[in-house]
Amino acid sequence: MKFSKLSPLDKRLYLEALLISVRVKLMVTFLPLRWYAHTLGKQHLFTQELAIEDSYPVIYKVSQAIIRSQKSVPWQTRCFVNAITAKFMLQKRGLESTLYLGVNKEDQKMTAHAWLRCGTYFVTGKREMGKFVVVNTFS
């Protein structure tokens, strides 16, 4: 959908997602994880998997804003950047979430994936998460 056709809320969320994802991309690219891990929450903890139905519209809109913002940057946005961006956006709205980091070894090749869950809703990375073994979480 074109930017001009978005609602005022969707426009704000899109711009917020775009700005945060650029900051996160720079952070992830140039800093080691140990320097910013504390901003992601406590390691090896999970938030509760309770239905927070009154927050689902906001969570869904944040998820959509991240998808839209991916199309506006000149680089490919990876799952780790998307998950952190979503986490920061949800934190700003007072919503707790869990960031999952997983790995998979297939044909002697190690791959990694990150996804974010808020309540029972997977905000980013849901499609691929089933192929990965969780090695760390941040809540």
Token pair, residue 107, equals 């044909």
pTM value is 0.93
**Model confidence over 31-86: pLDDT tens digits?**
999 999 999 999 999 898 887 778 899 999 999 999 999 988 888 889 999 999 99
Contact at 8 Å (CB) between 52 and 119?
yes
Q: Radius of gyration of the chain from Cα atoms? A: 15
For 102-123, the pLDDT digits (tens) are: 999 888 899 999 999 999 999 9
How confident is residue 1, by pLDDT bands cut at 50, 70 and 90? low
Q: Return the pLDDT at 91.
A: 96
- CA dist 90 → 7, 16, 104, 121 (Å): 19, 11, 27, 12
Tokens of 65: 């804003």
Three state DSSP letters for 122-134: EEECHHHHCCCEE
What residue type is 17 in one-letter code?
A: A
Q: How many CB atoms lie within 10 A of CB 97?
A: 25
In terms of Cβ atoms closer than 10 Å to its own Cβ (0-12, 13-18, 19+), residue 113 is: buried
Amino acid identity at 51: A
